[in-house]
Amino acid sequence: MTSNADKGLLIVLSGPSGVGKGTVCSMLRKLAPELVYSVSATTRKPRAGETEGINYFFKSKEQFCSMIDKDELLEWAEYVGNCYGTPRSFVNETIHAGKDIILEIEVQGAMQVKQRFPEGVFVFLMPPSLGELRNRIENRGTETDDSIRSRLSVAAEEIRLLEHYDYAVVNDQVELACERIRSIITAEHCKRERIMPYVKSWMEEVR
């Protein structure tokens, strides 16, 4: 049986839309290839080039509803007629294999995960300022003024949920943000409660 000291970590990375979660995770893939990336379940049809178990776990509507009923999802949401969720089994299998897994998710989804998996490590990705967040959203060139105002209003509400997170990382420079997240993971592995089982076994050996 795997002890807590041997288990991997679930790192939940979230933050407001436009803060750069996807960009940071893409960089983390290069800097920390040992990290496992959470694969979501979805009811949408596979697109060209997508592979089962790598891009998504593709499910029928009935299968997805069954997963909800059996509490097999850490979180789920419906978007544009399709359902998306995080399978609990994939996360559990990964961490029991001693591997760290990272889940990139919106703030509301992260709050669902916290209820079902409170031992996770919750990291909030912050913009340097709301003004900078506005600039990033505007630079996409896909949003109207009303949409930008709406997104900033939602972002302000999401930032108020920071108190529910373990760490806050400012995404001022992508590589620096990645290094901060990697430092958090290292620190979590060095926590006293993870090391104590080893120490207790050593003490028993010298009795």
Residue 136 is part of which domain span? 10-38+99-205
| pTM for this prediction | 0.85
For residues 16-30, average pLDDT: 90
Average pLDDT value over all residues in the chain = 90
Over residues 55-69, mean pLDDT: 95
Lowest mean pLDDT among 93-97, 103-107, 123-127, 168-172: 103-107
For range 79-107, the mean pLDDT: 92
From 11, 36, 10, 21, select the one nearest 158 (Cα to Cα).
21
* Residue 63 belongs to some domain of the structure: no
What pLDDT is recorded for position 87? 95
Give every CB contact of residue 166 below 8 A, 6+ residues apart in sequence.
121, 122, 123
Of 55, 54, 53, 57, which Cα lies nearest the Cα of 41? 57
Range from 33-47, 55-69, 96-110, 130-144 carrying the lowest mean pLDDT: 130-144
Q: Which amino acid is at 168?
A: A
171 pLDDT exceeds 90?
A: yes
In a domain, 110, yes or no: yes
pLDDT value at residue 79: 77
Instruction: Please state at what angle helix 21-31 crosses helix 174-189, rounded to 10 degrees.
Output: 60
Q: Determine, yes or no, domain membership for 43.
A: no
| pLDDT at 1 exceeding the cut of 50 | no
**Residue 16 near residue 134, CB atoms below 8 Å:** no
Residue 84 lies in a domain: no
Q: What is the pLDDT of residue 74?
A: 95
- Considering the domain boundaries, does residue 92 fall inside one? no
pLDDT at 198 over 80: no
Higher-confidence position of 64 and 78: 64
Number of domains the chain contains: 1
- Containing H/E element for 204? helix 192-205
What pLDDT is stored for residue 120 in this prediction?
Answer: 96
Q: CATH number for the domain including 140?
A: 3.40.50.300
Is residue 68 situated within a structural domain?
Answer: no
* 3-state DSSP helix/strand/coil % of the chain, to nearest 5: 50, 20, 30
The whole-number average pLDDT for the span 58-73 is 96
In a domain, 200, yes or no: yes
Instruction: Encode pLDDT of 114-168 as tens digits.
Output: 999 999 999 999 999 888 888 877 877 777 888 888 878 888 889 999 999 999 9
DSSP classification of residue 6: T
Residue 112: Cβ within 10 Å count: 18
Q: Are 110 and 17 in contact (CB under 8 A)?
A: no
Q: How confident is the model at residue 30 (pLDDT cuts 50, 70, 90)?
A: very high
Judge whether 140 lies within some domain: yes
Q: CA-to-CA distance for 207 and 110, rounded, in angstroms?
A: 45
Sign of CA dihedral 37, 182, 179, 20: positive
